[in-house]
Structure 1
Amino acid sequence: MDLGLKGLRAIVTGGTKGIGRAIAETLAAEGADVAICARSAGDIDPTVQALKAKGVRATGSAVDVSDGPALRDFVASVASELGGVDIVIANVSALSIGPDEESWRKSFETDMLGTVNLVDAAMPYLEQSGKASIITISSVSGREIDFAAGPYGTMKAAIIHYTQGLAYQLAGKMIRANSVSPGNTYFEGGIWQQIETGNPELFKTALGLNPTGRMATAQEIANGTAFLASPAASFITGTNLVIDGALTRGVQF
């Protein structure tokens, strides 16, 4: 299937590692021009070069998405360099699961406001696109109570609500908005690899909850995300795509 992504211009936050990196590479492989950002400046250039190697335009900057002005400047710079923005994918999370006030603050500023500020900054360009798509990366922790209940799960649930509200509000402007909720996803340097080493009992328990007997790969999450972001999904808006290998048991109507 041709996803129709060739020549479209996408922004992926947190695009140098894990799910974000897989999404950026998948979009580039489909012919989209891609801009990425991440907090670690040292990871930006190697990622941009890898994306350019796929024959597309690519750019990137070191940006902390909890810094609203910096994020807005990044989006404006990308739009100027690429000639517009068609797709935004809000992928960054503070991964804050502690009960303390600082964890709540970090989760709100990074997960929630980082998403809202990205969308707001990109909106003038999305309105001019004709093929505009907003994707927010949530989590299965946003739809059920698990070990990440607290700031992480709460903000992920709020992101789903926010995104479905966008879908309704923006439908008349032909701007689609969808969320993706990954289940436990294992990749090198990721949280589950860290848990496997640092808390093997939790890792064993989490692995045992999935009837497939394994966790998702970042590429499996990226495949679903790229489809939702693409013109091939032109009449899909306001959905929350759960990619979890039947991990969760709640019925999603």
Structure 2
Amino acid sequence: MDLQLKGKKAILAGATKGIGRAVAEVLAAEGVAIELCARDQAGVENTVQQLRAKGSAVTGESVDMADAAGYREWVARASERLGGCDIFICFASGGGGAPSEERFQAAFELDLLATYRGIEAALPALEKSSSAAIIVMSTTVAIEPSFGPQPYAALKAAVTNYAGALAHSLAPKGIRVNMVAPGPVFIEGGVWDKIKSGRREFYDKTIAQVPLGRLGAAKEIADAIVFLVSPLSAFTTGTNLVIDGGMTKRVQH
């Protein structure tokens, strides 16, 4: 299927690992020019090198997304280098874990503020696009608590609410905003890989709660995200797409 993305321009914040990396790979394969960042310089260089080896137009920088000024400046530079921006996605996250002031601060800075700051910095370029699309990364635990109280879930709920309101605000400008809420996703070296090795009983219990009987894959989430930002989804905005193998029990009216 032709997603009509060839020649589009994407800015991806935090896209060298996991779902972010998978999205970069799928977008690149569709002919999208990409500017990406992450804090780890080696990870940025590795991602850029591998995508360029496949013929993709990709540039990356090491950026600390908790540095508000530096992060905003990178988004502006990325838009200038690309000659515009059609797609913006921020994958930054402070990660899960039990409540503490440090974890709340990390979630506030990376899950909420990094999303807000990145979108605000990208808006001047997005407003000039004829097919602008923003994806905000949420999570199923923001809509249906599953693993106890945690800052990650609380701040993802906040950013999801903000994104929903933003979708209505930006729609008259032709800018679409959608949210994606993955359930547990298995990524080699990631959280669920570590849980599988160190807490096998909990890992197996979690899988037993998924009607499809397995965890998701980053590529599966990436494919859905890329479809959402494509012109084929031109009438979709303000939607929170849950991708969890049926794990959440609520009826989604």
Q: How many residues align?
A: 253
Counterpart mapping for 1:1-253 below 5 A = 1-147=1-147, 149-253=149-253
Q: Measure the CA separation in 1 of the matches of 2:148 and 2:157.
A: 12
Residues 97 and 148 (structure 1 numbering): CA distance in 2 closer, same or farther, change over 3 Å? farther
CA contact 1:19–1:222 (8 Å) conserved in 2: yes
- Which shows bigger deviation, 199-208 or 114-123? 199-208
* TM-score normalised per structure 1: 0.97
Equivalent residue of 1:60, what SS?
strand
CA contact 2:183–2:243 (8 Å) conserved in 1: yes
Equivalent residue of 1:154, what SS?
helix
- RMSD in angstroms over aligned alpha carbons? 1.1
CA contact 2:27–2:226 (8 Å) conserved in 1: yes
String of CA shifts for 1:200-223, please: whole Å, max 9, x gaps: 222121111111111000000000
Counterpart code for 1:18: G
Structure 1 residue 180, shift from structure 2 partner: 0.4
Q: Measure the CA separation in 2 of the matches of 1:69 and 1:198.
A: 39
String of CA shifts for 1:75-96, please: whole Å, max 9, x gaps: 1111121111110011111113
Counterpart code for 1:94: G
Counterpart code for 1:185: V
Equivalent residue of 1:59, what SS?
strand
Counterpart code for 1:130: S
Counterpart code for 1:205: K
Q: Measure the CA separation in 2 of the matches of 1:217 and 1:148.
A: 23
- Which shows bigger deviation, 205-214 or 45-54? 45-54
Equivalent residue of 1:12, what SS?
strand
CA contact 2:98–2:149 (8 Å) conserved in 1: no
- Which shows bigger deviation, 143-152 or 169-178? 143-152
String of CA shifts for 1:145-180, please: whole Å, max 9, x gaps: 111532111111112111111110001000000000
String of CA shifts for 1:177-199, please: whole Å, max 9, x gaps: 00000010001111100111122
CA contact 2:177–2:238 (8 Å) conserved in 1: yes
Q: Measure the CA separation in 1 of the matches of 2:148 and 2:195.
A: 13
Counterpart code for 1:189: G
Counting aligned pairs with the same residue, the percent is 46
* TM-score normalised per structure 2: 0.97
Counterpart code for 1:4: Q
Counterpart code for 1:174: G
| Alignment gaps of 5+ in structure 1 | none
- Which shows bigger deviation, 149-158 or 123-132? 149-158
